[in-house]
Amino acid sequence: MQSLIHEQITYIKSLPIEAADRVYDTLNRAIEAMVNGERPEYFAEMIAQSGKITASRAKMIARTESGRAIQALTQARALAIGSTGYI
């Protein structure tokens, strides 16, 4: 799962290094939140407190990153059982 997420981060080439690092850190925190059963709303509060981000923007980031974490987990599970991704 971590390698899939790392691969996603490498596609973000138009962002400055610092911004890409923040995205990576946020995504890792989203994975932790998902594993711990935390809701995106709780995660959004943490994002809002971490910097100069409005509540609505923090909520959007939390939902997006939680979705990415869930997608990576689903993909990792599928690959682990031998799925090629094709029907």
Q: Does the pLDDT of residue 24 top 80, yes or no?
A: no
Kindly give the interhelix angle for 2-10 and 17-35, rounded to the nearest 10 degrees.
Answer: 150
Residue 10 has pLDDT above 80, yes or no: no
Q: Is 35 or 8 the better-scoring residue by pLDDT?
A: 35
pLDDT band at 68 (very low <50, low <70, confident <90, very high): confident
3-state secondary structure 13-73: CCCCHHHHHHHHHHHHHHHHHHHCCCCHHHHHHHHHHCCCCCHHHHHHHHHHHHHHHHHHH
Compare 46 and 59 and report the one with higher pLDDT. 59
What's the confidence (pLDDT) of residue 16? 67
pTM: 0.61
Give residue 12's pLDDT band: very low, low, confident or very high (50, 70, 90).
Answer: low
* pLDDT confidence tier of residue 48, bands split at 50, 70 and 90: confident
d(CA 63, CA 82): 29
